[in-house]
Structure 1
Amino acid sequence: MHAHLVATSEKGVAWATLSARGHAAHGSRPTADNAVVRLAQAVAAVGAHRFPVVRTPALQRFLDVFGEARGLAFTDESLAADLESLGFVSSLVGATTRNTATPTVLAAGDKTNIIPAEASARLDIRILPGEDEALRAGLREVVGDGIEIREGRWWSATEAPVDAPIIGILQDAISHDDPDGVVVPYLLPASTDNKHFARLGIHGYGFVPLRVPRDFDVFAQFHAADERVPVDALHFSARVTERILRTA
């Protein structure tokens, strides 16, 4: 089986800032409410936390198709190990199994001998469909008391039907050039401009038809300094895309 992934859902994207406040003081006189220490504890807690697994329709369809093709159970107990066996696809799909909050930027004092009155950390947050409030509540519990959470931009996840007629059209186009190809719905852990169309009630599907060598991690190439695909993969993509546009 050659899997050709189609994103029927996309994780939402949000930014948030954690802030801790305390009394400013000279470094020679430690305080009990050091903002840097309190923030560091909250950041470490966020980094170590794993939100619960949520089997969205897109994730479940992916697991059903791959489970049947590879003889994998994808039970709650075996999910991590079964995903790991999928090679480079495992990290992509693994990121779609749960909400995530990743600390990315830290800011505090600028003088080594001064305890600052405030310290902050920025988080990159990726949200599963319908999980906005659960994520907010979970994050609040993880960081604990004494930490302010200030939300920045917040775009909720998108979700389109996994059994829409367009999936069949994509499958027909793929089958013409790749008889062993199977179009498999999945949830994209990143975000595209589709989030703006979703606000208008438009269902979007992310599909890049590429047939690459088994050991070529095409997802790792996205946004890389030397972003590239093999030339024959580009030709395959052009043929399939032309057929989709002609038959859709």
Structure 2
Amino acid sequence: MTSSSTDRPQTDSGDAPAGRPDGEVVELCRDLIRIDTTNFGSEPGPGERDAAERVAGWLDEVGIESELYEAAPRRTSLVAHWSPEGTDESLPPLLVHGHLDVVPANADDWSVDPFSGEVKDGCVWGRGAVDMKDFDAMVLSVVRDRVRTGRAPRRPIRLVFTADEEAGSGLGGRFLVDKHPEVVEGCTEAIGEVGGFSLTVRDDLRLYLVQTAEKGLAWLNLIADGRAGHGSFRNDDNAVTELAAAVGRIGTYAWPNRITDSQQAFLEAVSEALQVELDPHDVEPTLAKLGSIARMVGATMGNTANPTMLKAGYKHNVIPGRATASVDGRFVPGGREEFFDTITELLGDKVRYEIENVQPAVETEFSGALVEAMQACLSAEDPAAKAVPFLMSGGTDAKCWDALGVRCFGFAPLRLPADLDFVGMFHGVDERVPTESLEFGARVLDRFLDAA
């Protein structure tokens, strides 16, 4: 269902400095974090609707109307068309997308309230600080400032803030693509998460990783059926035993490297930056020099499959007739067939799988005017910047827009401290983003809207 933004009360985020695209980005990020938009899966989250209404209010304040779309009660996404006077209407719209939901956070594990938006040690802390209310805040800060100062973007902009990205996008991006594809009609390119963050190689060189590809997703339920019986009897058809063996084979399997075009381009850039020879058959020594980001890059060297949940039985002395497990599988672009063939082989004859969720891998070329604009705008704010492509191990709403033929890039620019474990912030404890990084990103995006 949809509703016009004009039906909702406006909100006031405070007075932002005039002509400062980064002027209110920190406060906007804090305000968004304070809205608990935890996504528990199929259950309605506590605040996705609230966050969408808050974003609509901020856009209302500067005269941008928006529409709300709900796939289910309170699972709310927002769409706005921004094409003020001075925009070149002959150009295709640029899709700028972010999601409003976040993964759960256990407050007992955190050193601050995960939904406080606290500023401490030069960072904004809270669930969503890097995934991805930081980018949402950057976009809103830039757009609001440009409206106030009468600066039109070069091309029309479609702003989309979705629900449910953290649970596979079914009630957010995929719902829009399936039921309301007109909201991105005409868009051929998009920017969103996860990319544009810096990796410091040395004082005069920072690589900014622009996501050009992401692995496909395969969430599988493994099922073993056996013969139920008394726990004291011999049993050569024990479902738990068969399942445990299959889970062990999957969890310890060494998947071969499958280097995609995006991965190859990234590795070559890293090799050049580090001034080391890259051995395509043994890239681990090179990856080890990247610090904490090596975990993310290492996960993109080939397909992966990790057992994540087990369930069987109800009593010590009863052998159950069924045992189940869950597996989080990811496959590189072009690697889907190999992934499922390998899983089938590893399961053996007595265990089968059912697909809980499968989504494609996506990949686009690191070339064209949009990429050139990214490099130019990064360099203008950081002379040591060099944009490079990379393949991400996780998934984003880009999978949804790709289904409509939109080229998707992860470009949420952040200049980060060299010692910050940024990768560890994603879904991690004490998630936080430096305030200076937020302000840097807003300035880059402001330039980008003139050049894109």
- Does TM-score exceed 0.5, indicating one fold? yes
> CA contact under 8 A between 2:251 and 2:306: conserved in structure 1?
yes
2:350 counterpart of 1:146: yes
Q: Which residue of 2 aligns with 1:234?
A: 438
Residue of structure 2 aligned with 1:127, choices 318, 325, 331:
331
Residue identity over aligned pairs, in percent, reads: 39
1:80 shift after superposition: 1.3
Q: Distance in 2 between matches of 1:74 and 1:118?
A: 48
Q: Distance in 2 between matches of 1:48 and 1:225?
A: 27
Q: Which amino acid aligns with 1:57?
A: D
Residue of structure 1 aligned with 2:277, choices 49, 60, 73:
73
2:408 counterpart of 1:201: no
Q: Which residue of 2 aligns with 1:244?
A: 448
Q: Distance in 2 between matches of 1:247 and 1:97?
A: 33
Q: Find the residue that maps to 1:241 and give its secondary structure.
A: helix
Residue of structure 2 aligned with 1:101, choices 305, 322, 345:
305
- Gaps in structure 1 of 5+ consecutive residues: none
Range that drifts further, 177-186 or 225-234:
225-234
Q: Find the residue that maps to 1:204 and give its secondary structure.
A: strand
> CA contact under 8 A between 2:293 and 2:422: conserved in structure 1?
no
Q: Distance in 2 between matches of 1:4 and 1:70?
A: 15
2:428 counterpart of 1:213: no
1:224 shift after superposition: 3.0
Q: Distance in 2 between matches of 1:86 and 1:225?
A: 22
Tell me the number of residue pairs that the alignment of Structure 1 and Structure 2 aligns: 248
Range that drifts further, 228-237 or 218-227:
218-227
Q: Distance in 2 between matches of 1:81 and 1:241?
A: 35
Q: Distance in 1 between matches of 2:391 and 2:235?
A: 47
1:50 shift after superposition: 1.9
> CA contact under 8 A between 2:231 and 2:318: conserved in structure 1?
yes
- Gaps in structure 2 of 5+ consecutive residues: 1-204
Q: Distance in 2 between matches of 1:247 and 1:213?
A: 27
1:73 shift after superposition: 2.6
Residue of structure 2 aligned with 1:169, choices 373, 393, 398:
373
1:225 shift after superposition: 4.3
Residue of structure 2 aligned with 1:29, choices 233, 237, 252:
233
Q: Distance in 2 between matches of 1:150 and 1:81?
A: 37
> CA contact under 8 A between 2:226 and 2:238: conserved in structure 1?
yes
1:240 shift after superposition: 0.5
Measured against aligned partners, the alpha-carbon deviations of 1:70-124 in whole angstroms (never above 9, x if no partner) come to 1233313431121112101111111111111110110110111100011111111
1:150 shift after superposition: 1.3
Q: Which amino acid aligns with 1:150?
A: E
2:426 counterpart of 1:222: yes
Q: Distance in 2 between matches of 1:213 and 1:146?
A: 51
2:315 counterpart of 1:111: yes
Q: Distance in 1 between matches of 2:286 and 2:433?
A: 27
1:177-196 correspondence to structure 2 within 5 Å: 177-196=381-400
The structure whose RCO (Cα within 8 Å, separation 6+) is larger is 1
1:165 shift after superposition: 2.3
Q: Which residue of 2 aligns with 1:62?
A: 266
Q: Which amino acid aligns with 2:438?
A: L
Range that drifts further, 223-232 or 120-129:
223-232
Q: Which amino acid aligns with 1:35?
A: A
Q: Distance in 2 between matches of 1:107 and 1:36?
A: 9
> CA contact under 8 A between 1:57 and 1:162: conserved in structure 2?
no
1:164 shift after superposition: 2.8
1:14 shift after superposition: 1.5
> CA contact under 8 A between 2:374 and 2:448: conserved in structure 1?
yes
Q: Distance in 1 between matches of 2:280 and 2:388?
A: 21
Task: Provide closer, same or farther for how the CA distance between residues 74 and 30 of structure 1 changes in structure 2, counting only shifts above 3 A.
Answer: farther
1:197 shift after superposition: 0.5
Q: Which residue of 2 aligns with 1:159?
A: 363
Range that drifts further, 227-236 or 90-99:
227-236
1:21 shift after superposition: 1.2
Q: Distance in 2 between matches of 1:187 and 1:242?
A: 25
Q: Which residue of 1 aligns with 2:94?
A: none
Task: Provide closer, same or farther for how the CA distance between residues 151 and 210 of structure 1 changes in structure 2, counting only shifts above 3 A.
Answer: same
Higher Cα Rg: structure 1 or 2? 2
TM-score by length of 1: 0.97
Measured against aligned partners, the alpha-carbon deviations of 1:171-191 in whole angstroms (never above 9, x if no partner) come to 000000111111110001111
Q: Distance in 2 between matches of 1:35 and 1:145?
A: 12
